Amino acid sequence: MKTFNKNFASKFALAAYLALGTLAVTSCNKDTQNGQEVPNGKAQVIVRIAGISDGEEIKTKGSNRGSSAQHNLQLVQSNGFDALIGVDNQLPVSEIATADQSGIKAANGTRAASPVVTGTKYRLFLYKKNGTDYTFEKSVELSAGTETPVSVTDGATYKWVALSYNSTTTQVPEMQNIALPGNTDVLRATNEFTVSGAAVPINVNFSRVFARIGIELNTMGMFAPINSATVAVTGNNAKTGTLDVATGTFVGALTDVTAALTYADFVTAPGSDGQQKIAYYYTADQTQQSLNVSVSALKIKLEDGSERSFGATLTRGQVITPERGKNHRFLLGITESPLTFGGVQWSRSNLYYQAGYNPYRFYHFNQPTTDAKSFFSYGAAKPGVLGTYASPKDPCALVYPAGLWKTPAKADLDPINSNGLTGLLGDLNLNVLGSTLDALVDVQNALAANVTGATAPVNAGYSEFTATGVNAAYGAATSATNKLRFNFNGFMRDLSLVEDLITLDLGTTGGKYTAFWTNDRSLLDPLEPIAGLGVTHYLGNRYAGVPPLNLNAGYKGFRSTNVLGITLLNSVNVIKSSLMNVRCVRNGAWNPNAVGYNPNPVLPN
C-alpha cells in the first residue's frame, strides 16, 4: 500500500479538532461484535455508516422534508394547471435506511438525514497524533453495511477521515489531494478517537462536500404520478476542484464541469408513487446562479389508468446561491386549476381520503359516488370518524400544497343558493330524522326561485354551472370536470351510535341531494350561545315543481343548519354530526411565504 511521509501539522492546528470530540476505545477480552470476532489484545476500530447529514433540521412524523425555510414561493397559472414555484432546502429524504442500517444514529445522537446504500464504497484515512501534529498512517477501502475491523496502535490518538463518492462501484484513491470528479455526490466525515484496548464502532455521519441542488417536479396537487414530460434546465452551473483530504478544503482554482439536465435525469423520490421526481447536480461553486426550468408536454396517470395530457409550457427562473454541504431545491409543484363561478374558485370534484402517500385528493372524474372515503363528519380529518370538539380540522387544508384549499365559508355558497332565501329562512335546520326532511325541503323548494345559472337535467343526478377555467386537458367543455358539477351523492342524516368507525348509510338521500360542509357555525342554532353546536352546510336538489303544472320546477340550493352533538368517546369530547361530502374552495388568505410555511401538510395520525 502506498504511504505518505508528509507531516500534516502545517495544514491544521490541534485546536481545530479538539472540538470534534473524542471516541474512547475501551479494552475487553475476546468477544464478538456484530458478527466480527475481536481477538485478545488486538487494538481495532470498526466503522459503521450512520447516514448523510444534509445540514438541515430533520422534521418529525407527518413531513418528509428538512427545514421549513422558504424563499419567494408563489403560485403561478399555466394552461390547465397551477404551479407552486420557489427555492428552499426541502429535498425529499427516506424515512429509514436499509435493514442493516435502520437502527443506527449519527455520532451526535440525531438521525442522519439520508441513508447510505449498502455496498457504497468509501475510504477511511487514519492520521496518528504525535504531540500537536498529525501524521498520515494508512487508509483502507471499506463498504457500507460491512463492519471490517481495522487495526490501530494501542494507546494512540487518531484523527480519521472517511471519503466516498456515494457509489457502489467508484473507489476513492489513496491520495493527499484528490481531484474530485465533476457533478458527483462526494461525502466526507471526520472525528478523533483514542485507543485503549480492543475495538468498538465508530459511527460515520457523512456531510456533502459539494452543494447538492435538486430540481423537483411534483404532481402531488394533481394526485397522479407523472408518466412523461419535456424538461429543459439552463443556468445550472457546476464546478469541481481538488480537495485536501485531511482538512476538507479545496486547493487551487475550481474548474467548470457539465451538468446538463433533461427529463431522463429525473428519478422518482422514495415512496412518492411517481408523484415526485427529482434531478440533481452538484457544485463546489458558492456564487449566485440564475436557474431556469421549462416544463412542457406533461402527462399524468389517472386513477383509472388513463392519461391526462397538458400541452402547455411553463418556464420559470429562480436565483440560487449554493452552499457546500447543504441541499437546495428548485420546486415546481403542479396542482389542479380551479373552476371559478360567482367569484369563488372551486375544486373540480369532491375531496376523498386515500390512506398512504399524499392521502388527501380530489376525484379525477367527478362522477356520482357512494364511496365511503368521501363522507366526512364535521370537524373530522378523516372520513367515517368523528372530529373532536376541542380541535376540529379542515380536511381541505391538508390537500397539497398545505392551506391552498379550504372548506367553504357560508358566503362562498351565495352564488349557488336559490334567490329569495336569505336570513332566517336560508339557515333553517332541514337536516332532521326520518321523512320529515323531504317535506321540509319541498316547502323551501316551493318558496325558492331556481338557482341562477344552474342546470339540473331530469334524472341526471347532478346540478352544474358553467364556470371559467375550462381546459381541454380535463376533457370536453361539457365534461364533469370542466363544469362546476355537484353530484347528488346524498348524505348520512344522523348517527344513532357513536363509534370509532361508522358504517355509511345514506338512506333515501342518495341520488336526491347534494350536501357538503362549510366551516361556519350557524348563529341561528338555539344552542349556539351555549356550546356552539350548529354548523352550516349546503343542501341542493332538483325540485319537480308544484303539481299539476309542475310550477317552479328546477334546481334549488340552500344553506342549512346541522345540529351537532358533543359526546364523550374514549375520554375525548367528539362531534356527533351527519356525514357529508366535502367540496373545497381556494383559500384567499393562503400565504406561502408565511414564516415556517411548509407545502407538505402535517398529516393526522
DSSP-derived pairing of the beta strands 44-53 and 201-208: parallel
What per-residue confidence (pLDDT) applies to 43? Answer: 85
Which amino acid would we find at residue 411?
A: A
DSSP-derived pairing of the beta strands 133-143 and 462-465: unpaired
Which amino acid would we find at residue 284?
A: A
What per-residue confidence (pLDDT) applies to 567? Answer: 65
What per-residue confidence (pLDDT) applies to 133? Answer: 93
Report d(CA 263, CA 230) in Å as an integer: 6
- In sequence order, the 6+-apart residues with CB closer than 8 A to the CB of 366 are 348, 349, 350, 480, 481, 485, 487
Residue with cell 459539494: 210
Tell me which CATH code domain 15-54+96-208 carries: 2.60.40
172-183 confidence digits (pLDDT tens): 999 999 999 999
Does this chain's domain 15-54+96-208 share its CATH topology with 70-90+210-336? yes
Report d(CA 96, CA 115) in Å as an integer: 7
CA 423 to chain centre: 42
400 closest CA partner among 103, 3, 75:
75
Domain boundaries, the chain: 15-54+96-208, 70-90+210-336, 339-586
Q: Are 84 and 75 within 8 A, CB to CB?
A: yes
91 closest CA partner among 178, 209, 218, 188:
218
CA distances from 55 to 113, 212, 248, 328 (A): 8, 11, 16, 11
Residue with cell 357529508: 580
Instruction: Go through 200-226 and write b for each residue having 16 or more CB atoms within 10 A of its CB, e for each that does not.
Output: bbbbbbbbbbbbbbbbbbbbbbbbbbb
What per-residue confidence (pLDDT) applies to 525? Answer: 44
Burial of 33 (0-12, 13-18, 19+ CB in 10 A): middle
What per-residue confidence (pLDDT) applies to 514? Answer: 97
For 232, phi then psi, to 5°, come to: -125, 135
* DSSP secondary structure, 200-251, as one string: -EEEEEEEESSEEEEEEEEEEETTS-EEEEEEEEE---EEEEEEETTT--EE
Number of C-beta neighbours around residue 256 at 10 A: 12
Nearest 10 degrees: Cα torsion 107, 113, 117, 120? -60
CA 527 to chain centre: 40
What per-residue confidence (pLDDT) applies to 507? Answer: 87
Name residues of the chain where pLDDT drops below 50. 1-41, 57-70, 94-112, 524-531
Q: Are 417 and 411 within 8 A, CB to CB?
A: no
Report d(CA 56, CA 64) in Å as an integer: 13
Q: Are 317 and 324 within 8 A, CB to CB?
A: no
Largest CA distance in the chain: 108
600 closest CA partner among 62, 31, 236:
62
Report d(CA 284, CA 375) in Å as an integer: 52
Report d(CA 255, CA 587) in Å as an integer: 47
- In sequence order, the 6+-apart residues with CB closer than 8 A to the CB of 38 are 28, 30, 31, 32, 44, 149, 198, 199
CA distances from 487 to 286, 288, 365, 412, 539 (A): 55, 52, 12, 18, 11
Report d(CA 297, CA 329) in Å as an integer: 22
Nearest 10 degrees: Cα torsion 431, 434, 440, 441? 70
The DSSP letter of residue 36 is: E
By three-state DSSP, how is residue 319 classified? strand
CATH top-level class for 70-90+210-336? mainly beta
Beta bridge partners of 149: 46
DSSP-derived pairing of the beta strands 211-221 and 327-336: parallel
Q: Say what the pTM is.
A: 0.84
